[in-house]
């Protein structure tokens, strides 16, 4: 498996819209279309930049992940909108994509000291993935979602 994060552009955005999660996962993650609107709507404020990526294994798009960040900070580097297509789940893509995104953030933002994300407490599959990867619960919540943090050395 060779995971690549490829920016969403005019050449792959429609393919990204065809990605889906299972019906029981839909309440935990926004549809790709919602995530793709965020860079233009800026729901978290004008200071936040959003970088949407398709997750590829070779030529096959297997998922979606987005990085949101505030440039002049050391701790406002987020992973959001992350999901693996229903047909591709259970193959190790989640862990591989998470690892690649953390590496990408560290390489492109050397000032970053931690990567954050949120997860619904009842989303046990995602929560286990993040905890096993090394994310820690902060005790904080963003709405109904728990905030988790991964420290960078």
Structural domains of the chain in order of their starting residue, each with its CATH number? 3-114 (3.40.630.30)
Tokens 């798009």 map to which residue? 61
In the three-class reduction of DSSP (H, G, I as helix; E, B as strand; rest coil), residue 114 is classed as strand
pLDDT mean over 28-33 = 92
Q: What is the predicted pLDDT for the residue at 23?
A: 86
Q: What is the predicted pLDDT for the residue at 24?
A: 87
Q: What is the predicted pLDDT for the residue at 1?
A: 82
pLDDT mean over 5-15 = 97
In whole angstroms, give the CA distance from residue 98 to residue 79. Answer: 9
| Residue 50 pLDDT class (50, 70, 90 cuts) | very high
Structure tokens at 116: 């954050």
What is each CA distance from 88 to 56, 79, 83, 106, 119, in whole angstroms? 11, 20, 10, 27, 20
| Residue 19 pLDDT class (50, 70, 90 cuts) | very high
In whole angstroms, give the CA distance from residue 117 to residue 99. Answer: 13
103-125 per-position pLDDT tens digit:
999 999 999 999 999 999 999 99
Q: What is the predicted pLDDT for the residue at 120?
A: 97
């Amino acid at each position: 498996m060779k995971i690549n994060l490829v920016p969403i552009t005019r050449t792959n955005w429609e393919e990204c819209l065809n990605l889906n999660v299972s019906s029981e996962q839909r309440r935990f993650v926004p549809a790709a279309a919602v995530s793709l609107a965020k860079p233009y709507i800026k729901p978290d404020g004008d200071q936040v930049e959003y970088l949407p990526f398709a997750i590829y294994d070779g030529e096959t798009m297997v998922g979606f992940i987005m990085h949101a960040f505030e440039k002049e900070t050391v701790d406002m580097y987020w992973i959001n909108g992350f999901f693996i297509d229903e047909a591709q789940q259970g193959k190790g893509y989640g862990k591989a994509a998470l690892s690649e995104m953390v590496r990408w953030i560290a390489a492109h933002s050397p000032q970053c000291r931690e990567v954050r994300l949120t997860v619904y407490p009842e989303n046990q599959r995602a929560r286990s993935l993040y905890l096993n990867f090394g994310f820690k619960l902060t005790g904080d919540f963003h709405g109904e979602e728990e905030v988790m943090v991964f420290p960078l050395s």
